[in-house]
Amino acid sequence: MKSVARPKQRIDIQAAFVLHQYPYKETSRLLDVFSRDHGRVMMVARGAQRPGSQLRSILLSFQPVLLSWFGVGELKTLHSADWQGGIPQLTGLPLLCGFYLNELLLRLLPRDEPHAMLFASYFEAIRALSHLPADGAGVEPVLREFERILLDEMGYGADWRYCADRPVEAAQRYSFDPTMGVIPVQAHLPQYDGKALLAFAEGDYASVAVQGKLLMRQAFAAILGDSPLHTRQLLIDLQKL
């Protein structure tokens, strides 16, 4: 009796970004991609390591691509890749911020789970970063918006408008606990102006740059634990994040 071959699940023409890649065997590369409908996917790009491979100019960080792949295990096989263009290459500080966003996704996003809203937010963040000057003026609102949506998608978001089911008051001071959200002032925790929390809730990140930065740093520190992000530390050293 002949054995029946396992079907090779095929995904065609999926919008995606390459988050990370590295050499695999002699002529291939391993890709960690973020796709619109399938989330993070690991796949091998056969022959992409060869000097003459067209994939080398397509599988670039921060560039939208359309990918097709197949496979039923954790490691898929890339079938085709098409560059979509439309986003200038990141340079200077926006480039480092792009790597920061990628590292957040690589650390926090489980594989093979769709996050269409987060994908759209990432796409918009990369597009916004690509239009900023190399000195990074204007990066912080872009980062705060993506960080906030990522927290919501991962189930760690908070309603910045309320403290213990009571509306936050602009003239009061509050603390933030990553497991409880906005709470009354605690001596051992950072303090935030109610006005800043309300502005943050409305997406007004520019007017609360310092407190918004501290708020997100505190939120992600609780999730990441004792393994801080390498890119975040670089940006902190540059006093930009």
> Is 210 in the same domain as 149?
yes
Last residue of a domain, one of 54, 83, 112: 83
Residue 230: what pLDDT?
84
Q: Work out the pLDDT band at 8, boundaries 50, 70, 90.
A: low
**Domain count of the chain?**
2
Q: Are residues 50 and 99 in the same domain?
A: no
Q: What is the CATH number of the domain that holds 225?
A: 1.20.1440.120
Chain mean pLDDT for the chain: 92
Residue 194 belongs to what domain range?
Answer: 92-237
**Pair 42, 31: CB distance under 8 Å:** yes
Q: Give the closest residue to 145 by CA, choosing from 168, 163, 130, 125.
A: 125
| Token pair for 222 | 């609780």
Task: Quick: pLDDT tens for 79-94.
Answer: 999 999 889 999 999 9
Q: Are residues 106 and 154 in the same domain?
A: yes
Is position 3 within any domain? no
Share of the chain above pLDDT 70, in %: 95
* Confidence at residue 9, expressed as pLDDT on a 0 to 100 scale: 87
Q: Say if residue 63 is in the same domain as residue 125.
A: no
- For residues 136 and 223, state if they share a domain: yes
Task: Give tens-digit pLDDT for 18-57.
Answer: 999 999 988 999 999 999 999 999 999 999 999 889 999 9
Q: Where a domain ends, among 57, 83, 109? A: 83
> Which of 64, 83, 102 finishes a domain?
83
**How does DSSP assign the chain, residue by residue?**
-PPPPPP--EEEEEEEEEEEEEEETTTEEEEEEEETTTEEEEEEETTTTSTT-GGGGTS-BT--EEEEEE-SSSEEEEEEEEE---SPPP-HHHHHHHHHHHHHHHHHPPBT---HHHHHHHHHHHHHHHTS-TT-TTHHHHHHHHHHHHHHHTT----TTEETTEEPPTTSEEEEETTTEEEE--TTS-EEEHHHHHHHHTT--GGGHHHHHHHHHHHHHHHHTT---HHHHHHHHTT--
Is the overall model pTM greater than 0.85, yes or no? Answer: yes
At 125-166, the pLDDT tens digits run 999 999 999 998 999 999 999 999 999 999 999 999 999 899
The pLDDT-based confidence of 4 (bands split at 50, 70, 90) is very low
My answer on whether 195 and 103 are in the same domain is yes
Instruction: Give yes or no: residues 155 and 138 share one domain.
Output: yes
Q: Are residues 124 and 226 in the same domain?
A: yes
Tell whether 129 and 212 lie within a shared domain: yes
Q: Does residue 1 lie within any of the structural domains? A: no
Of the chain, the end-to-end C-alpha distance in Å amounts to 63
Residues 135 and 113 in one domain: yes
